[in-house]
């Protein structure tokens, strides 16, 4: 159930609209479109929602600034570092002001310094009210969450609140 509606009963169009309006996705491999510049990559979910490029230019610039990127709008993904590409992916995921983010190994392809930066960004987003559901095999990353659910062979084997007494 999502907002008291059975999402399993949604047809494809309704499910796609619900995902576009309420869920942001962040992938391990960034999933940026290589032949589109950074502005166009962040524009994608906004255009699916019927927004015109000219109407959302300021919003896209603001999103990129919010993830620590300045003056990259015209660059292609291949001209950015892995950490910068992941920040673009996060900006794109936030474009429609989702209620929650689903992040699949968002630090898996990054070095430890860049991973720490991405985790700081996620913490800031969480403090701003965004719920983040993250899948990770990295226990260090998982321990930075408020709650850790361990799954083995498709079954939940533990569900615990994470203590941050030392943070």
**Residue 167 confidence (pLDDT) above 80:** no
pLDDT at position 78 = 96
pLDDT at position 166 = 54
pLDDT at position 165 = 58
Q: What would the pLDDT profile of 21-58 be if each residue is shown by its tens digit? A: 899 999 888 999 999 999 999 999 998 877 778 889 99
Q: What is the residue range of 130's domain?
A: 101-167
| 3-state secondary structure at position 140 | helix
For 143, phi and psi rounded to 5 degrees?
Answer: -70, -10
pLDDT at position 2 = 87
The reply to whether 20 falls in a domain is no
The predicted model gives 91-102 an average pLDDT of 92
The reply to whether 26 falls in a domain is no
- Please count the structural domains in the chain: 2
Rounded-to-integer distance, Cα 155 and Cα 153, Å: 6
Q: What would the pLDDT profile of 103-140 be if each residue is shown by its tens digit? A: 999 988 888 888 888 898 899 989 999 999 999 999 88
pTM of the entire predicted model: 0.84
The reply to whether 7 falls in a domain is no
Beta bridge partners of 23: 100
Q: How many helices (H) and strands (E) does the chain have?
A: 6, 5
Same-domain status, 86 and 111: no
Tell how far CA 14 is from the center of its chain: 21
The reply to whether 24 falls in a domain is no
The reply to whether 6 falls in a domain is no
Rounded-to-integer distance, Cα 105 and Cα 135, Å: 6
pLDDT at position 44 = 92
Last residue in a domain, options 55, 75, 97: 97
């Amino acid at each position: 159930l999502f907002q008291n509606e059975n999402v399993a009963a949604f047809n494809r169009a309704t499910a796609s609209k619900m995902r576009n309006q309420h869920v942001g996705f962040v992938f391990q491999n960034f999933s940026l479109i290589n032949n589109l510049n950074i502005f166009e990559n962040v524009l994608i979910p906004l255009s699916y929602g019927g927004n015109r490029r000219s109407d959302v230019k300021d919003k896209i610039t603001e999103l990129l600034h919010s993830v620590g990127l300045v003056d990259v709008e015209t660059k292609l993904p291949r001209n950015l570092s892995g950490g910068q590409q992941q920040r673009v992916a996060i900006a794109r995921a936030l474009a429609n002001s989702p209620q929650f983010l689903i992040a699949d190994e968002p630090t898996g392809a990054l070095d430890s310094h860049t991973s720490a930066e991405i985790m700081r960004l996620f913490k800031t987003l969480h403090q701003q009210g965004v719920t983040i559901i993250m899948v990770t095999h990295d226990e260090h990353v998982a321990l930075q969450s408020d709650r850790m659910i361990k799954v083995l062979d498709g079954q939940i084997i533990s569900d615990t609140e994470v203590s941050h007494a030392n943070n």
